[in-house]
C-alpha cells in the first residue's frame, strides 16, 4: 500500500488528449496538484498531453511504472489491464464505472480482471473509484481539479466513494492527510487500507466511510488491534432498509442489518458516528484532544444559558458534571457580593465584571478545574469579539495556555468562541495542546465525549471466552441431523442445547389422540403446558396452540378438546400429528438467539421473550464469541434489566446462571460454525435458575 500512496512513476491510461475546462484530464489535475514523480500519459490518438510525451500503449513507456491508472469505457478496461500486467506493473487504479456497481455483465467483467490480477500478484484499487490522495506527497489520482489545501491533518480516510475526497472542506478537519476510495473494492479493501494506516507514521486518526462490508470478521480482528494504538472513527451509511437498497446499486457491496454493525463495532473500540456532521466533529476532537480519562466535565461560561445547553448535552452524551473542586468557590467569590453563587457550570460573567478582571477570573476558574483530580475535561464558553471596546473579551488563548502550563496536564478543553464573526480566533486556541474550538456549547460536549470514547476504546479489556468440555460425538450426531433436515425443532433442539449444558424443561411428545396424551402425561409433574407441535404450527399462538396452567388430568382433557377444536376451526384440512406436553416453568420470559451474519459471522442475541418480542424489540446483540463480562453487558443494556434484578419486591433472577447460559450459547455457535439460526423463546428465568421452554435451530 505504501507504494500506492507514494508512486515514483505513473502510467495514466485513457487520459484525454484535451486539457482545460471540462476535460477531466488526470494528468493535468495530477500535475497541477503538485505531483513530482514521472507521469506517462497513454493515449494512442495524441503525441503530447499537457506538455508530456504521450504513448500509444502502456507497452511503449520506457520503464515499468509503479502505478497505472485506467479510465476508459468498461468494455475496454480488461485488454488495457492485461497490457499493464504484461509490462510487470503491480499496482492499478481502475477509475471506470459500470462493473459490480451496475449489472451482471459488469460483475463478470470485474471478476475477469480480478482473476488475472490474482494470478499475477497485481493489486487493484477500484473499479468505480476516484483512487488515491496523499497530501504529504502532493499526489492525487482524481480527475477533478482539487484545490491544494493550505493545511491538512494526520487523518487518513478510507471511503467507498470519491466525493468525500472532493468535499474535504465539508467533511474533513482542515483536509485529509491521505485518502483512498476503495470503490467496488474488487481487491484492495477496508482491511488492506486499515492494515497500512495502522502502521503508517503519517496517520494519527483513521476515518472510515462504510456502506457495506465483505470481510467483516477480519476487519473487526484488525480494528480491534488498531484502536489500542490509534482511533478509528466510522461513518456507516445505508443504515435503513431504503438506504441499504441504494448502497447495493452503488458499490455492489453487501449491507447488513444496521444493529449488527453496532454490535460488531461495540467491543472493538471503533467509534461510530451518526452522520457527516458528527463525523467531522469527532475527527477534529480526535486530532486536537488526547483521550479524556473519565466522564467528569467542568464548565466555565460567560452565559448561564450556554451552561445549561452544555449540561443538556452532557446528559445526552453520557458525561457527568464534575463536582466543583474544593476551595474553587471561595477563590472565585473573594470580594464578591454575597448573592454570587459559584457552581459547575461556573458562571464567570458577574465575577469578571464585578471584580474588573474578566480574563483573570476565567484563568482562575479554568486552572482550578484542570488541576482538580475530580475533573477530566473542560468546556469553555466565552465570546471572542473583535470590537475595540472589548479588547479583554477578544482572545483568551494566552489565559488558556497559562492554565495549561500551570496544571501540567493535557486534559481536553473544548471552547465555544461565540460572536466571532470572521472565525479569527479558533486557530489561536487550537495551536495549544489539547484545545479545540466548536460551534456551540453542545458540540463542545460532543467533542469531549469523543475523547472519552477514545479512552474507553483504547483501554478496554481483552476477551476471554470460555471453552466447555462437551460430548463431541453427540454434537456431531445432532448437528448432522440438523444439516440433513435443515432444522432441529422441539426435543431434538433441546438435546443439542443440553449437550452444551443449557437447561431445558422436561417434556414429552405424544400423538394426537387422547389416549396417547394421557400416557405421555404420566411421566410429568403438574402443572403442565400443552402445545401443538410439528411443522404446520411454527407460530403456535396463532393457532390457539398453547394452553398453560393445566393442574390435573381433567384439565388436560379439557385443554386437549379446546385445542383440537381451535385447529379445526382455523383450518379443517390440518391434522394434529403431535402434541408436546411440558412441565410448566414460571418466571420471566427471555429470548436467546443466534443468527449467522454473512459479514461478521454469528451474532448472539438476548432480550425480552414471549409473544411481544417483536413489539418491544428489547434485544441486545454481540458478535460471537463472548465472555462472561460481555454477557453481563448484554443483559445490562436491556430496558428490562431492572425486571431481572427485581422490581417492587420481586426476587432477582439467577443472574449467574443466565450469564453462564449466554457464554455456553456463544461456545455452541463457535463449535457449530454452519448453524444459521437458533431461537430459544422463551427461556424462563427465575430465582430458581433458567430453563429453555421452546427452541428451534436452523442450518
**x-or-dash string of contact with its own copies, 552-591, rule CB under 8 A:** ----------------------------------------
Binding string, residues 383-402; x marks residues near its own copies by CB under 8 A? x-xxxxxxxx----------
Q: What element of type H or E holds 347?
A: strand 346-347
Distance in Å, CB of 275 to its own copies, minimum: 4
Residue from the set 164, 413, 489, 605 that interacts with its own copies by CB under 8 A? 164
CB of 684 to its own copies, least distance (A): 17
* 424 is a site residue for its own copies (CB under 8 A): no
What is the number of helices (H) and of strands (E) in the chain? 26, 31
Q: How far is CA 528 from CA 30, 158, 576, 583, in A?
A: 77, 58, 19, 4
C-alpha to C-alpha distance for 205 and 211, rounded to whole angstroms:
20
Provide the 8-state DSSP code for 71.
-
Nearer to its own copies, 134 or 317 (CB): 317
Residue (251 or 507) nearer to its own copies, CB: 251
Per DSSP, the three-state class of 278 is: helix
Angle between helices 472-485 and 490-499 (to 10 degrees): 150
Strand partners, 70: 13, 94
For position 169 contacting its own copies by CB under 8 A, the verdict is yes
Three-state secondary structure call for residue 487? strand
Pick the stretch among 54-62, 195-203, 303-311, 689-697 that binds its own copies (CB under 8 A). 303-311
Q: Which stretch binds its own copies (CB under 8 A): 20-28, 110-118, 194-202, 659-667?
A: 20-28
Tell me the closest approach of the beta carbon of residue 670 to its own copies, in angstroms. 33
String of contacts with its own copies for each residue 198-217, x by CB under 8 A? -----------x-x------
Residue 512 makes contact with its own copies by CB under 8 A: no
Ramachandran sector of residue 594 (left: φ over 0; alpha: ψ -120 to 50; beta: rest): beta
Axis-axis angle for helices 276-288, 441-458 (nearest 10): 70
Q: Which of 102, 217, 293, 474 binds its own copies (CB under 8 A)?
A: 102
Q: Please report whether residue 106 would count as binding its own copies according to CB under 8 A.
A: yes
Dist CA 16 CA 35 (whole Å): 19
Of the candidate spans 9-17, 139-147, 477-485, 624-632, the one that interacts with its own copies by CB under 8 A turns out to be: 139-147
Out of 8, 47, 240, 519, the only residue in the binding site for its own copies (CB under 8 A) is 240
Spatial separation of the C-alpha atoms in residues 512 and 37, rounded to whole Å: 82
Q: Minimum distance between the CB of residue 40 and its own copies, rounded to whole angstroms? A: 21
332: contact with its own copies by CB under 8 A: no
When asked if residue 111 is in the footprint of its own copies (CB under 8 A), the reply is: no
Closest CB to its own copies among 116 and 248? 248
Cell numbers at 493, concatenated: 433442539
Contacting range for its own copies; rule: CB under 8 A; set: 36-44, 46-54, 577-585, 610-618:
610-618
CA distances from 355 to 57, 394, 467, 551 (A): 78, 18, 67, 81
Between residue 481 and residue 500, which ones bind its own copies under the rule CB under 8 A? none
Given 439, 577, 637, 677, the residue binding its own copies (CB under 8 A): 439
Residues 6 or more apart whose Cβ sits within 8 Å of residue 71: 12, 13, 14, 15, 26, 94, 95, 96, 143
Dist CA 249 CA 574 (whole Å): 43
Q: Quote the least distance from Cβ 229 to its own copies, whole Å.
A: 28
Amino acid at each position: 500500500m505504501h507504494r500506492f500512496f507514494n508512486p515514483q512513476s505513473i502510467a495514466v491510461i485513457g487520459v484525454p488528449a484535451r486539457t482545460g475546462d471540462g476535460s477531466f484530464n488526470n494528468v493535468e489535475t495530477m500535475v497541477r496538484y503538485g505531483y513530482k514523480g514521472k507521469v506517462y500519459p497513454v493515449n494512442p490518438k495524441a503525441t503530447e498531453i499537457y506538455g508530456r510525451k504521450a504513448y500509444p500503449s502502456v507497452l511503449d513507456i520506457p520503464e515499468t511504472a509503479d502505478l497505472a491508472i485506467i479510465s476508459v469505457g468498461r468494455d475496454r478496461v480488461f485488454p488495457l489491464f492485461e497490457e499493464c500486467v504484461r509490462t510487470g506493473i503491480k499496482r492499478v487504479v481502475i477509475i471506470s464505472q459500470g462493473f459490480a456497481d451496475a449489472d451482471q455483465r459488469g460483475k463478470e467483467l470485474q471478476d475477469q480482471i480480478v482473476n488475472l490480477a490474482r494470478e499475477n500478484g497485481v493489486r487493484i484499487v477500484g473499479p468505480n473509484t476516484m483512487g488515491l490522495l496523499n497530501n504529504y506527497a502532493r499526489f492525487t489520482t482524481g480527475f477533478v481539479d482539487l484545490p491544494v489545501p493550505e493545511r491538512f491533518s494526520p487523518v487518513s480516510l478510507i471511503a467507498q466513494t470519491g466525493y468525500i475526497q472532493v468535499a474535504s472542506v465539508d467533511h474533513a478537519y482542515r483536509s485529509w492527510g491521505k485518502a483512498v476510495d476503495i470503490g467496488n473494492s474488487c481487491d484492495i479493501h477496508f482491511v488492506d487500507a486499515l492494515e497500512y494506516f495502522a502502521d503508517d507514521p503519517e496517520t494519527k486518526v483513521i476515518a472510515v466511510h462504510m456502506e457495506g462490508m465483505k470481510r467483516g470478521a477480519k476487519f473487526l480482528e484488525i480494528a480491534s488491534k488498531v484502536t489500542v494504538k490509534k482511533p478509528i472513527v466510522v461513518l456507516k451509511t445505508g443504515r435503513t432498509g431504503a438506504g441499504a437498497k441504494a448502497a447495493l446499486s452503488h458499490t455492489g457491496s453487501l449491507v447488513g442489518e444496521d444493529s449488527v454493525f453496532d454490535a460488531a463495532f461495540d467491543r472493538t473500540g471503533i467509534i461510530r458516528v451518526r452522520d457527516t456532521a458528527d463525523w467531522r466533529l469527532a475527527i477534529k476532537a480526535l486530532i486536537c484532544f488526547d483521550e479524556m480519562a473519565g466522564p467528569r466535565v467542568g464548565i466555565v461560561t460567560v452565559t448561564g444559558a450556554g451552561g445549561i445547553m452544555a449540561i443538556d448535552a452532557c446528559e445526552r452524551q453520557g458525561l457527568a458534571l464534575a463536582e466543583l473542586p474544593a476551595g474553587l468557590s471561595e477563590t472565585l467569590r473573594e470580594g464578591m457580593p454575597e448573592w454570587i453563587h459559584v457552581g459547575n457550570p461556573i458562571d464567570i460573567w458577574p465575577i469578571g465584571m464585578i471584580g474588573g478582571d474578566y480574563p483573570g477570573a476565567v484563568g482562575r476558574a479554568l486552572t482550578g478545574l484542570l488541576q482538580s483530580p475530580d475533573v477530566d475535561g473542560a468546556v469553555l464558553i466565552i465570546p471572542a469579539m473583535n470590537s475595540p471596546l472589548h479588547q479583554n473579551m477578544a482572545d483568551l488563548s494566552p489565559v488558556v495556555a497559562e492554565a495549561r502550563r500551570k496544571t501540567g496536564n493535557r486534559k481536553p478543553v473544548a471552547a465555544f468562541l461565540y460572536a466571532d464573526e470572521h472565525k479569527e480566533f479558533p486557530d489561536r486556541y487550537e495551536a495549544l495542546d489539547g484545545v479545540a474550538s466548536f460551534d456551540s456549547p453542545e458540540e463542545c460536549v460532543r467533542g469531549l465525549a469523543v475523547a472519552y470514547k477514545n479512552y474507553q476504546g483504547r483501554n478496554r479489556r481483552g476477551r476471554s471466552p470460555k471453552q466447555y468440555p462437551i460430548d463431541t460425538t453427540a454434537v456431531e450426531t445432532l448437528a448432522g441431523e440438523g444439516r440433513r433436515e435443515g432444522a432441529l425443532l422441539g426435543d431434538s433442539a433441546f438435546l443439542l442445547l443440553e449437550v452444551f449444558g443449557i437447561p431445558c424443561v422436561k417434556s414429552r411428545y405424544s400423538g394426537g389422540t387422547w389416549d396417547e396424551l394421557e400416557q405421555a402425561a404420566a411421566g410429568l409433574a403438574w402443572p403442565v403446558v400443552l402445545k401443538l407441535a410439528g411443522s404446520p404450527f411454527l407460530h403456535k399462538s396463532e393457532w390457539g396452540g398453547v394452553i398453560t396452567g393445566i393442574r390435573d388430568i381433567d384439565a388436560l382433557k379439557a385443554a386437549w378438546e379446546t385445542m383440537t377444536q381451535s385447529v379445526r376451526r382455523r383450518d379443517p384440512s390440518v391434522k394434529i400429528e403431535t402434541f408436546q406436553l411440558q412441565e410448566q416453568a414460571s418466571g420471566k420470559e427471555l429470548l436467546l438467539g443466534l443468527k449467522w451474519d454473512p459479514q461478521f459471522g454469528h451474532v448472539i442475541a438476548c432480550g425480552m421473550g414471549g409473544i411481544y418480542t417483536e413489539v418491544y424489540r428489547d434485544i441486545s446483540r454481540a458478535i460471537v464469541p463472548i465472555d462472561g463480562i460481555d454477557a453481563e453487558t448484554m443483559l445490562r443494556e436491556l430496558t428490562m434489566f431492572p425486571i431481572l434484578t427485581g422490581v417492587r419486591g420481586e426476587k432477582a433472577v439467577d443472574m449467574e446462571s443466565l450469564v453462564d447460559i449466554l457464554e455456553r450459547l456463544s461456545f455452541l455457535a463457535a463449535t457449530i460454525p454452519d448453524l444459521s439460526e437458533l431461537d430459544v423463546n422463551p427461556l424462563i428465568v427465575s430465582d430458581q435458575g433458567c430453563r429453555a421452554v421452546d427452541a428451534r435451530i436452523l442450518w
